[in-house]
Structure 1
Amino acid sequence: MTTQAAHPDAVETTLVSARPLALASTLAPLGRGPYDPCHRTTADGALWRTSLMPTGAVTYRLTQAGATTVSCRAWGPGAAEFETTLADLLGEADDTAGFAPEHPKVAEAHRRFPGLRIPRTGRVFEALVPAILEQRVHTVAARASWRRLVTRYGAPAPGPAPDGMRVPPPAEVWRRIPSWEFHRAGVDPRRSRAIVTAAAVANRLEESAAMSAPDAAARLRVVPGIGEWTAAEVAQRALGDADALSVGDFHLSAIVGWSLLGRPLDDAEMVEYLESVRPHRHRVVRLLQVSGQAVKPKFGPRTPITDHRGR
């Protein structure tokens, strides 16, 4: 159930769910680090985000108003359209029916965190660009690249957003970013080329939001530079796919193995082991993360961060 009140400067909405809803943990994967110009948590506990809807830019502020309730205020030309997508964003369509994990760690996490959901933004290209930036590089470096590029090329957030917030640039802007600006942001030619190529067909990629999971993945992977890992990262956020497993992730298979079996797994072994929890493989990963049970022993020094700007 949602209720809406009209204001001259904002659209106000309250979503009251029939089941537990944990705002912070549900939307945590949408943020790209503590300095993400599109995602900010303020001292009062409110979560601020920006997006570029087909009707225009929107800034929205979400607050947990109760165990099943989230309040939202949205500003900008895209605010009214965003309000129609709020339920999907908060995982109202995320279906846990039939999810009965046998592993005690997963079962316990599912019991302890009933409000964890898989969000669905519906904004495919917005999820795709940071996923491409995170390909085969340290997360801290990818997030720095995202922050620099969005701060430079994104528009200021509408409404009373916290200082420094920006709206993600539209595809046509990403398509025109010069190669040397990607270079200055620490993005190598392979990743910048994938972003520019995807931007040229962004409208076709957005169509994947209405497709089945296999068809959506196939549509995304038509673009050179987008493989299984990147398509899964997009599906988890933009499409609300609770089964999208990030095969090819540098750490994930080992984390799943150590967390659930006490030993490392490779990708093929992870896929085989998690077959029994389809269509909830990504949900299992999220439960391990939010419950603090996602572990991977450290056996040596961290690999150095590659600075592509000097190349």
Structure 2
Amino acid sequence: MSFSVPVSAAGGPGACSGAGPLSILWESDRPLSLTQTLGILAHGRKDPSVRIGPGVAWLAFSTPEGNATLALSEQPAPAPGARVLARAWGPGAGAALAGVPALLGERDDWTAFDDPDFAASLPAAVAETRRRNPGLRLPSTGRMLDSIVPVILEQRVTAMEAYYAWRYLVTKYGADAPGPAPAGLKVPPGAETWRRVPSWEWHRARVDFHRSGTILRACGAASGLERLSGVPLGTDLTERLCSLPGIGPWSAAEITQRTHGAPDSVSVGDYHLAAFVGEALTGRRTDDAGMLELLEPWRGHRQRLVRLLVLSGFRKQAFGPRLAPEDYRGR
């Protein structure tokens, strides 16, 4: 259960006025960790649209009403609850504040996962990680294109390559974040701006024509894709996303984990995930089919379990050289 109340720029109850930001004080009777919950939204440590630190997060994005900067800071709250001060600037400030509850995982219900009978079925490392990290939630942004573009950039390349491309393109073509935002914070480009990126800039960003073409197709269908934010989780949502050429099951899972807080979406086809899950749960690497078989007893919560495995600090053993990045700029 959570609720929000408006606060003034000075921090007291009441309607916002003057040149200060619009603000709300969001409260919940469940714990929340901003860092753990929102960390999945940052595409690399230097993502120009996100700044996340201990107990603080800054996000810049567009809304139907215009661009917005959203600043979130954890406040003292009676245990086991949470309290977050949310401030927003820009034409889209009101819409940004309206999305705060979903962004902070209000829709993410862990009741069944935390049920004693279900919890008893969990691997010991997962159960212990959940006990130590009760503030982890799965966020729902509702912003489809802002999730689709970086996910496409991450297809078939190393994370380092994808993060570089996102950082380069958003820094060059994104809009300055409204308000007193941290230096360099940018609102990611909208569909029309993405469509105007010249071919040589995709090359400079080290993005091959397959990925840039998929992004341009997504931008051409942006209005329809944004409507998918209102489609509930399920097979139909995945099928609609996968109807766009270049979007497959891996991409659909990665997108809905962010846009819908999907608790059961497993990123089948990921370069590392199956081996990581297999080694974490059994001590042996496995493939996608083996990973799904291992996760089957916890169907309905498989993404929760994967997030907890990652949060546990487990690292799979490295064998051989790392995958070398490709440079598409000379092609």
TM-score interval, smaller chain = over 0.9
Aligned-partner Cα distance in 1 for 2:134–2:105: 12
Deviations 1:178-235 (A, max 9, x none): 2221111100000000000000001111121121322211111111111111111100
SS, match of residue 309 in structure 1: coil
Aligned-partner Cα distance in 2 for 1:151–1:96: 37
Which residue among 58, 65, 73 is the counterpart of 1:55? Answer: 65
Aligned-partner Cα distance in 1 for 2:215–2:324: 24
> Are 1:208 and 1:215, in contact at CA under 8 Å, matched by a contact in 2?
no
In the other structure, the counterpart of 1:64 is 74
SS, match of residue 44 in structure 2: coil
Aligned-partner Cα distance in 1 for 2:159–2:47: 12
Aligned length: 309
In the other structure, the counterpart of 2:134 is 114
Aligned-partner Cα distance in 2 for 1:291–1:70: 25
Aligned-partner Cα distance in 1 for 2:179–2:44: 22
Aligned-partner Cα distance in 2 for 1:40–1:211: 29
Deviations 1:77-112 (A, max 9, x none): 101011111000000110112212421111111221
Please list, as runs of the form range in 1=range in 2, the aligned pairs for 1:114-133 lying within 5 A after superposition.
114-133=134-153
Deviation at 1:140, TM superposition (A): 1.0
Please list, as runs of the form range in 1=range in 2, the aligned pairs for 1:150-299 lying within 5 A after superposition.
150-213=170-233, 214-293=235-314, 295-299=315-319
Indicate the structure (1 or 2) with the bigger Cα radius of gyration: 2
Deviations 1:17-54 (A, max 9, x none): 01111111000000111211100136x85211111111
Aligned-partner Cα distance in 2 for 1:11–1:260: 46
- Quick check: 1:145 aligned with 2:165? yes
In the other structure, the counterpart of 1:28 is 39
Which amino acid letter does the alignment assign opposite residue 70 of structure 2?
A: Y
Judged with a 3 Å threshold, the aligned counterparts in structure 2 of structure 1 residues 303 and 207 are, in CA distance, closer, same or farther, namely same
Which amino acid letter does the alignment assign opposite residue 222 of structure 2?
A: A
In the other structure, the counterpart of 1:10 is 21
Which amino acid letter does the alignment assign opposite residue 4 of structure 1?
A: P
- Quick check: 1:134 aligned with 2:160? no
In the other structure, the counterpart of 1:84 is 98
> Are 2:62 and 2:68, in contact at CA under 8 Å, matched by a contact in 1?
yes
Identify which range, 235-244 or 173-182, moves more after superposition. Answer: 173-182
In the other structure, the counterpart of 2:12 is none
Which amino acid letter does the alignment assign opposite residue 265 of structure 1?
A: T
> Are 1:13 and 1:73, in contact at CA under 8 Å, matched by a contact in 2?
yes
Aligned-partner Cα distance in 1 for 2:223–2:260: 15
> Are 1:209 and 1:216, in contact at CA under 8 Å, matched by a contact in 2?
no
Aligned-partner Cα distance in 2 for 1:125–1:306: 25
SS, match of residue 127 in structure 1: helix
> Are 2:68 and 2:90, in contact at CA under 8 Å, matched by a contact in 1?
yes
Aligned-partner Cα distance in 2 for 1:203–1:123: 11
Aligned-partner Cα distance in 2 for 1:160–1:136: 37
Which amino acid letter does the alignment assign opposite residue 239 of structure 2?
A: A
> Are 1:90 and 1:117, in contact at CA under 8 Å, matched by a contact in 2?
yes
SS, match of residue 105 in structure 2: coil
SS, match of residue 61 in structure 2: strand
Identify which range, 4-13 or 232-241, moves more after superposition. Answer: 4-13
Aligned-partner Cα distance in 2 for 1:36–1:7: 32
Identify which range, 187-196 or 300-309, moves more after superposition. Answer: 300-309
Q: TM-score, normalised by structure 2?
A: 0.91
Q: TM-score, normalised by structure 1?
A: 0.96
Which amino acid letter does the alignment assign opposite residue 90 of structure 1?
A: L
